[in-house]
Amino acid sequence: MPARPFRRSALIASALVVTATLIGSGAAVAAPGSPGTPRYGPGADGVGDPYFPLAGNGGIDVVHYDLDLDYTPPLLPDPAPLEGALAGVATIDLVATADLDRFNLDLRGLTASSVVVNGKPMAFAQTENELVIAPRPKLKTGQSATVIVTYGGTTTVPLDIEGYPYGWVTTYDGAMVVSEPEGSATWFPVNDHPTDKSTYSFAITVPAPAVAVANGLLVGSETVDGKTTWWWDAPDPMAAYLATATVGNFRLETDAPAGETPIINAIDVTRTPNQYVNLARTRAMLAFFEARYGEYPFVAYGAIVDNDSVGYALETQTRSFFSGSASEGTIAHELAHQWMGNHVSPGRWADIWLNEGWATYSTWMWNEERSIRTVAAQFAIVMNRAATTPTWNTVLADPGPTGLFGAAVYDRGAALLHALRLEIGDEAFFDLAKTWVQEYGGGTATTADFAALSEEISGHDLEAFFTAWAYTPGKPAL
């Protein structure tokens, strides 16, 4: 049995539940040398992303999340409604980036019952989207704090802005946990924007024989009184939307040759071999993409192949999620995201083409490697689309919040990359790909960053190119 790496301690047991009344700002403290100017203030309730104004929070930088979750799936055989029960303790290590008299965490659909900051129970308030915490003493810029939030409630099937399931999606045998773009707030208190990456550890307790699968490496598991706790450790910085804690009837398969990236797959026991046979190509794909983008950036990789029929796939960090089955092309797409999207994440959601365009183009290159179809042929298919289609009528670097997963983001994004390759040549293009990962890996970047690096690497003036391909609607001329 592994040592329990979580801090559900006497601090929790002794903490009084604080009444969640709305917190006032109180008397402001004047900044030294600036009479009348408040020194302490509230952290913003969002990071300023225009697509999702309440996603993320100002004034804090989260360093690490310890998530201690206890989940009871719906009661079978015919649950109606489809509901589960989630009880959680989130231990959050953060650093104040401003002088704070209060700050927010994103939390939606679950209710906080207590908040402890640096060992002391604190006043807090909760609205539909925000958990508002008033630390006392107040936090100074650069000060570290440990925040422990006890919370829970009923889980259902949250829907994203387009009406698709996301976040903690309750299923008949457990939960499908896929949170892009800002669904992590449906299962833990979080600074829910890619610009704040953190490390994670998980303890997920579920009724046996269910298996809980999260990011990173499996530390261990233990079954007591009909419940199993699964411990996972994810030590690489990760955007919140890439975290998972999927629960189901899984079989774990591990491939960990000495000196190579461990691959841990979780296969739903109802899946037939033809629904996951292409996972056998994962290690060859790893080598293929490492040759183009650099060393694989995380401690492990693998896949979750669930039995749900929603047709979902997501590049959850180190453990890509596939609903129903995993096709070869989709496996390549989600693996390429580990570099392009996960390691280098979008600085704002409008830049999502940098995720999806690169992953789509990566699949084009893999298809060519496998003699399925050349990159040129796949590019031609996109370029042959009529100028009136959404592929060309969408501004690639600003598709809108309901256009994040539209065809233009994927196909026009991939076509931009191939057109850029034709413009600057193979040597500069693949130098650009590796340099992009090296310079921005572990953080975020924007379309403007990519355009600037493209010019720097290639020595070309690419202003007209990016204006036509990324910043204006219409079909670019070749």
The burial class, CB within 10 Å (0-12 / 13-18 / 19+), for 211 is buried
- What backbone torsions phi and psi does residue 273 show, to the nearest 5 degrees? -55, -35
**Which pLDDT belongs to residue 75?**
80
| 428 domain-assigned | yes
For the segment 64-77, the average pLDDT, to the nearest whole number, is: 93
pLDDT digits (tens, 9 = 90+) for 199-222: 999 999 999 999 999 999 999 999
In degrees rounded to 5, what are phi and psi of residue 100?
A: -115, 130
CB 256 within 8 A of CB 302: no
State yes or no: pLDDT of 14 exceeds 60.
no
Report yes or no on 28 lying in a domain: no
The count of domains in the chain is 1
The answer, yes or no, to whether residue 2 has pLDDT greater than 50, is: no
| pLDDT at residue 418 greater than cutoff 70 | yes
Query: Is 423 among the domain residues?
Result: yes
* pTM of the predicted structure, to 2 decimals: 0.92
Nearest partner of 467 among 375, 364, 398, 376, judged by Cα: 398
What pLDDT is stored for residue 127 in this prediction?
95
pLDDT for 239-248, tens place per residue? Answer: 999 999 999 9
Per-residue model confidence (pLDDT) at position 193:
98
Nearest-CA neighbor of 301 among 331, 333, 262, 340? 262
Please write the tens of the pLDDT for every residue from 277-302: 999 999 999 999 999 999 999 999 99
Q: Which helix (H) or strand (E) holds 338?
A: none
In three-state secondary structure terms, 461 is coil
Q: What is the pLDDT of residue 33?
A: 53
Q: At what angle do helices 353-369 and 447-458 cross, to 10 degrees?
A: 50
The enclosing domain of 394 has a CATH number of: 1.10.390.10
Q: pLDDT over 70 for what percent of the chain?
A: 92
- Per-residue pLDDT reduced to its tens digit, 82-99: 999 999 999 999 999 999
Query: What's the pLDDT tens digit per position in 114-130?
Result: 999 999 999 999 999 99
Distance of CA 289 to the CA centre of its chain: 21
pLDDT of 3 over the 50 cut: no
Take residue 226 and report the two structure tokens written for it: 């009909």
Under the banding of pLDDT at 50, 70 and 90, the label for residue 81 is: confident
Is the pLDDT at 7 greater than 60, yes or no?
A: no
The C-alpha angle with vertex 183 and arms to 433 and 279, in degrees rounded to 5, equals 50
**29 pLDDT above the threshold of 70:** no
Helix, strand or coil, per DSSP, at residue 426: helix
Q: How far is residue 462's CA from residue 451's CA, in Å, rounded to a whole number? A: 7
Over the stretch 132-148, which tens digit does the pLDDT of each residue have? 999 999 999 999 999 99
What does the alpha-carbon distance between residue 53 and residue 237 come to, in Å, rounded to a whole number?
23
Average pLDDT in the 148-173 region?
96
End-to-end CA distance of the chain: 61
Q: Give the strands of the sheet with 123-126, arranged side by side.
A: 41-42, 100-106, 130-134, 123-126
CA 326 to CA 308: how far, in whole Å?
12
Mapped onto helix, strand or coil, the DSSP state of residue 253 is: strand
Among 100, 247, 89, 265, residue whose Cα is nearest residue 175: 247
Average pLDDT, the chain: 92
Residue 132 placed within a domain? no
Q: Is residue 109 part of a domain?
A: no
Structure confidence at residue 13 as a pLDDT band (50, 70, 90) = very low
Residue 14 DSSP code: H
Task: Using CB atoms within 10 Å of the CB of residue 177, give its burial: 0 to 12 exposed, 13 to 18 middle, 19+ buried.
Answer: buried
Would residue 425 count as lying in a domain?
yes
Other beta carbons within 10 Å of 317: 29
CA distance 217 to 389: 43
Cβ–Cβ < 8 Å for 56, 191: yes
State the pLDDT at residue 208.
97
450 domain residue, yes or no: yes
pLDDT at 35: 56
Predicted confidence (pLDDT) per residue in 224-233, tens digit: 999 999 999 9
What is the average pLDDT across 390-401? 97
277 belongs to a structural domain: no
- For residue 452, give the nearest of 442, 443, 444, 461 by alpha carbon: 461
**Helix, strand, coil percent values for the chain (each to nearest 5):** 25, 30, 40
Confidence of residue 16 (pLDDT cuts 50, 70, 90): very low
Domain extent for 443: 345-471
pLDDT digits (tens, 9 = 90+) for 299-335: 999 999 999 867 789 999 999 999 999 999 999 999 9
Alpha carbons 399 and 395: distance in angstroms, whole number: 6
Other CB atoms closer than 10 Å to residue 73's CB: what's the count?
Answer: 23
